[in-house]
Structure 1
């Protein structure tokens, strides 16, 4: 593959290594701070495989230009690997390095590169390390940054992870999680989902939370990295889905229930069969193949790992009438293919697109996604809706359903009546801007 001038102009790995050696020596000798940022283009191998090396070169070219602009002249940037770049920030401490990483992440996450039949949203994962906290030699600092980068990718990509105290923090949270699972303190919180056409509460999503021994509630973002490291994700999924099904058995609420399943749980067929048996108990009055008000969400990440396994393990649920939702749609590189390969009933549009929907190009992309889904008879659902302006734009496009803080945060063990009270209070206090939503009567 012929590389572009922008890529060729980047400092070579050899020269970059020499520069880092000099920077480390200066940092140790003079006592000035030194930060290192290792960042990688997410799923670059898949981009090359699906769209060809010429398009991959276009992505590299755009990332090079964007990184140089975002990081400024004080940063030394070079190509470190096929899809990795190393940035040396001399006289730069942790706070400044984090600010630089955020600027880089925001700049590159805004890249939308058109292919012949799709639009690719380029993202990067970033690992940070600094001297002397994470090491004093080039190898020590690079190892720390590489571990942080790996962790950023493991958390789901498009993340910034600092090396400092990373291992200690993960092990501490892993211990908290293991005890919480043992004591049944991993519980669902339910976020309302609204029909934008009728302004009616129509569904809810069960989201994992930990209730600590002193009553505090931890969000999934605070413990899912430890769950992955300790291989406990499948247990969390199983407990949340089981709790949602048990809730369905004890309450007669006419809502659609959304739950998430990870690739980790898909590798445990016995637990899946237990969940299917519980689902059959939750809907005893419905026919064996009648559509059930239960939706399993899967993300592109799970599909990429093993499409055949995902289809095989979910088939018994689909046959029973459980519906499927494709989550984070618009964040990947071959999403439309999944609409052809899977019996998807709901399409959840990625929140990063929704946050930028006021931009004409993004609005056009969302309009196109909705048009394809509507033509296939798929319900579209916008995530992370936070403002009235976003609601109006989504409604103008024709998006069917929406969820986000504008309508209500996720709350523990909420009934329709609970949702009604909480959302009414929020709107009365001006938190979300809407006071005219029609909610089902308790």
Structure 2
């Protein structure tokens, strides 16, 4: 029994040992499994962490901000730009969010959210503006989706989404729209080319310039749409391409004939566009249509160089063309004939026909002259009835005689003016290049002297300059040299002739008159040297001297208490044309601290003959300085009422040639008409050259304002003028 129990016990112990071993083995296996599972879990956790990090990084790179809305628990989780998580009450956050949405976008946001929460859209998506911390509006784009709904009611329980900041993108889009709008609406052609100079984009104005539609141009080479079959055109195009490739830029004016048939003057500006490696990737060009500009330049050139009345080149163009021609012919044996032509007795004819009829005569005369002088190098209208014709001639004298005879014959045929026949004759003076000289001014002077001789002989004739006339030229040249010396040696002096009020004979001011105190010839009057000065640039220098001396004397008189004294000075046409008169006046005013009201500028009718825009502008500028402008010797020249309306004239002077004939009924009628007209236009009337009481009384009865003449005083030196001022001041 005992043995049996022992055996049984051994068996049980064996089983127990086996069981223990199995448990031990199982425990070891379990521990290994747990270790393996732990490693797997750690790997999974690490992988999830890495994925989460990558997701956050991806969101950050993409500018995405995740959000999680637990609708059931009314909680919303937000992640800001610093990757910080915020848990907020969704109701409070929703109320705050709605207050930050732009009013114009709020309804759109609420509608899109409502539709999605009701299950009517697959996802919520809205683009809207929100106010940021700096109180500025920024564009954002939200995308979200409900991920959990109540199984029974289908009410939304949980929603997730992301927000993207698209403000910069939206601004870029707006800028692109603006750029596209500019491209479409630009008043210049704009082109974009690829690196091979093929069109990839153009704007509508370029279509207008070329006459082609966009689809006809895109893909073509830059010059494939222009005529390119002539060698010169191909060469020009190749030069442009070469310059662009070498310098990265081209800027120039070209005239292109496009295959559409349009021929256009264009300004071509093109630049290369480089990438970061400085490789050319595109070319951008701006093409300006110069057609209107060229037409405007032609119109301006015409106005500058041609006489509007006769449609002939004017004096400036004549001198410029003749100068250029003579410069090009320095070493040539070519001979020229310079003809100065004048209509005989034009002044009385013009007065008889009236200005309108006189203008029509000049128009018809010019047309006929142009036809009969088709072989001439140039035919010009210098002024009034003065014309110039230049011929290139071989056998000079016989040839020019034939030309002059042909001109005379053509102009002898009567002109039809208002159904009336008007006969005219002409006088001509001729000088030859190089026989009589090589300088333009000298040749013109010779022709003018010959013309003067022809007129002196009664007109209707042709005179060729001869050596007998050279004495006059030599004397003129000698006088010019002495005058230049006089200017530099301060030999020019000024005298002052008083102007007084008719009513009380008290002084109003003076007219300054220039004199030449020659060291050997004594006092030379202006009628001797002023014509010489006007033919040269000396008149401007003399004008500067007179204005400076006048302003200096005004300063002296003002210092003596004569604040309102006014002194008038004469201005020649050249002073107005040369453009430095304003500067001279301004310099004198500032230098001597005087006012423009102390000055008065006197012009003659002949000065206003070239009724130019530039002259009018200069006179208007002078008037703006409170300097009064006086029209001298009105009625003695080519009088025109247009002078009084076109120019800022303040004062009308009755010339002494009229005053001296007071007592003659016709002359008195003319004076009365001039005074009445001037007064009606609000002008001050000045009568000059008064020498007798009879003249004074007649003019006083016409209510003239100011008197000037030897009856009151001759022109005075500065000292004597000051004495007169003291004795006759109001």
Matched, 1:257 2:257: no
How far, CA to CA, are the matches of 1:201 and 1:387 in structure 2? 18
Query: How does the TM-score come out when normalised to structure 1?
Result: 0.59
Matched, 1:41 2:351: no
Residue of structure 2 in register with 1:431 after alignment: none
Q: SS in structure 2 opposite 1:165?
A: helix
Residue of structure 1 in register with 2:610 after alignment: 305
Tell me the alpha carbon deviations over residues 283-323 of structure 1, each in whole angstroms, 9 at most, x when there is no partner: 55x6xxxx713110111111112432221122222111111
Residue of structure 1 in register with 2:634 after alignment: 329
Query: How does the TM-score come out when normalised to structure 2?
Result: 0.37
Residue of structure 2 in register with 1:184 after alignment: 490
Residue of structure 2 in register with 1:167 after alignment: 473
Q: SS in structure 2 opposite 1:321?
A: coil
Matched, 1:197 2:497: no
How far, CA to CA, are the matches of 2:658 and 2:580 in structure 1? 37
Offset, 1:40: 3.9
Change (3 A) 1:402 1:255: same
2:547 and 2:588 in contact (8 A); partners too: no
How far, CA to CA, are the matches of 2:508 and 2:451 in structure 1? 44
How far, CA to CA, are the matches of 1:347 and 1:234 in structure 2? 24
2:496 and 2:511 in contact (8 A); partners too: yes
2:518 and 2:524 in contact (8 A); partners too: yes
Matched, 1:391 2:391: no
Change (3 A) 1:181 1:417: closer
How far, CA to CA, are the matches of 2:571 and 2:708 in structure 1? 19
Higher relative CO (Cα under 8 Å, sequence separation at least 6) belongs to: 1
How many residues are matched? 297
Residue of structure 1 in register with 2:588 after alignment: 278
2:355 and 2:640 in contact (8 A); partners too: no
1:355 and 1:385 in contact (8 A); partners too: yes
Tell me the alpha carbon deviations over residues 364-387 of structure 1, each in whole angstroms, 9 at most, x when there is no partner: 221121112112221101122222
1:283 and 1:292 in contact (8 A); partners too: no
1:385 and 1:391 in contact (8 A); partners too: yes
Residue of structure 2 in register with 1:246 after alignment: 552
Residue of structure 2 in register with 1:72 after alignment: none
Q: SS in structure 2 opposite 1:259?
A: strand
Residue of structure 1 in register with 2:724 after alignment: 419
Matched, 1:362 2:667: yes
Offset, 1:324: 0.5
Change (3 A) 1:273 1:339: same
1:194 and 1:403 in contact (8 A); partners too: yes
Tell me the alpha carbon deviations over residues 190-245 of structure 1, each in whole angstroms, 9 at most, x when there is no partner: 11112112111211011111111248211101211221333311211221112111
1:354 and 1:383 in contact (8 A); partners too: yes
Offset, 1:259: 0.6
How far, CA to CA, are the matches of 1:219 and 1:228 in structure 2? 15
Change (3 A) 1:238 1:397: same
Tell me the alpha carbon deviations over residues 45-65 of structure 1, each in whole angstroms, 9 at most, x when there is no partner: 9666823169979xxxxxxxx
How far, CA to CA, are the matches of 1:402 and 1:149 in structure 2? 40
How far, CA to CA, are the matches of 1:354 and 1:280 in structure 2? 38
2:678 to 373, 383, 394: 373
Gaps of 5+ in 2: 1-341, 363-383, 387-426, 430-445, 457-467
Change (3 A) 1:406 1:169: farther
What do you get for the CA RMSD once the two structures are aligned? 3.7
Change (3 A) 1:373 1:49: closer
Residue of structure 2 in register with 1:20 after alignment: none
Residue of structure 2 in register with 1:440 after alignment: 729
How far, CA to CA, are the matches of 2:677 and 2:358 in structure 1? 28
Q: SS in structure 1 opposite 2:597?
A: coil
Offset, 1:419: 2.8
Residue of structure 1 in register with 2:512 after alignment: 206
1:238 and 1:265 in contact (8 A); partners too: no
1:295 and 1:322 in contact (8 A); partners too: yes
How far, CA to CA, are the matches of 1:356 and 1:173 in structure 2? 34
Offset, 1:177: 0.6
2:577 and 2:615 in contact (8 A); partners too: no
2:605 and 2:637 in contact (8 A); partners too: yes
* Bigger Rg, which one: 2
Change (3 A) 1:336 1:40: same
Q: SS in structure 2 opposite 1:267?
A: helix
Gaps of 5+ in 1: 1-37, 58-81, 85-124, 128-140, 152-161, 422-437
Residue of structure 2 in register with 1:21 after alignment: none
Q: Which deviates the most, 216-225 or 165-174?
A: 165-174
Tell me the alpha carbon deviations over residues 64-120 of structure 1, each in whole angstroms, 9 at most, x when there is no partner: xxxxxxxxxxxxxxxxxx989xxxxxxxxxxxxxxxxxxxxxxxxxxxxxxxxxxxx
